[in-house]
A and B are shown apart, each in its own frame.
Chain A
Amino acid sequence: MQFGIFSVGDVTPDPTTGRTPTERERIKAMVAIALKAEEVGLDVFATGEHHNPPFVPSSPTTMLGYIAAQTEKLVLSTSTTLITTNDPVKIAEDFAMLQHLADGRVDLMMGRGNTGPVYPWFGQDIREGINLAIENYALLRRLWREDVVNWEGKFRTPLQGFTSTPRPLDGVAPFVWHGSIRSPEIAEQAAYYGDGFFHNNIFWPADHTKRMIELYRSRYAHYGHGTAEQAIVGLGGQVFMRKNSQDAVREFRPYFDVAPVYGHGPSLEDFTDQTPLTVGSPEQVIEKTLKFREYAGDYQRQLFLLDHAGLPLKTVLEQLDLLGEEVVPVLRKEFAVNRPADVPEAPTHASLLAAAQNEAAQNEAAKNEAAKNEEVVA
Chain B
Amino acid sequence: MKLVVVSAGLSVPSSTRLLADRLAAAVGRTAEVDVQVVELRELAVDIAHHFTNGFPGQALSAALDAVTGADGLVVVTPVFSASYSGLFKSFFDLVEPEALAGKPVLIGATGGTARHSLVLDHALRPLFSYLKAVVVPTGVYAASEDWGAEGLDARIERAAGELAALMSGLSAVPGAAGRRPSADTFEDVVPFEERLAALRPTG
Contacts and interface: CB of A to CB of B under 8 A. Distances in A.
A129 to B, nearest CB: 13
Nearest to B57: A274
Given A203-B53, A208-B55, A262-B52, A153 B189 contact: no
B53 A266 contact: yes
Interface string B109-151: 0000000000000000000000000000000000000000000
B195 interface: yes
A256 to B, nearest CB: 12
B186 A188 contact: no
Given A204-B54, A264-B52, A265-B49, A185 B201 contact: no
A153 B199 contact: yes
Interface of B is mostly: helix
Interface string A26-58: 000000000000000000000000000000000
Interface string B173-196: 000000000000110011111011
Interface residues of A, number: 30
Given A134-B196, A204-B55, A274-B57, A219 B49 contact: no
A154 B53 contact: no
Contacts of B186: 184, 211, 215
A138 B52 contact: no
A255 interface: no
Nearest to B52: A265
A188 B190 contact: yes
Decide if the interface of chain A is mainly helix, strand, loop or mixed.
Answer: helix
A185 B53 contact: no
A153 B201 contact: yes
Contacts of A189: 192, 195
Contacts of B190: 185, 188
B73 to A, nearest CB: 25
Contacts of B48: 265
B189 A154 contact: no
A131 interface: yes
A335 interface: no
Given A134-B196, A138-B196, A153-B199, A266 B189 contact: no
14 contacts: A130-B195, A131-B199, A134-B192, A134-B199, A154-B201, A184-B185, A188-B192, A203-B53, A204-B54, A208-B55, A215-B186, A215-B189, A262-B52, A266-B49
Interface of B: 48-49, 52-55, 57, 185-186, 189-193, 195-196, 198-201
Interface of A: 130-131, 134-135, 138, 152-154, 184-185, 188-189, 191-192, 203-205, 208, 211, 215, 219, 223, 262, 264-266, 270-271, 274-275
Given A185-B195, A203-B53, A205-B55, 20 more contacts: A134-B195, A138-B196, A152-B201, A153-B200, A153-B201, A184-B186, A184-B189, A185-B190, A188-B189, A188-B195, A189-B192, A192-B192, A192-B193, A204-B55, A215-B186, A262-B53, A264-B52, A265-B53, A266-B49, A270-B57
Leading 8 A-B pairs by shortest Cβ distance: A265-B52, A192-B192, A135-B199, A184-B185, A154-B199, A266-B49, A152-B201, A203-B54
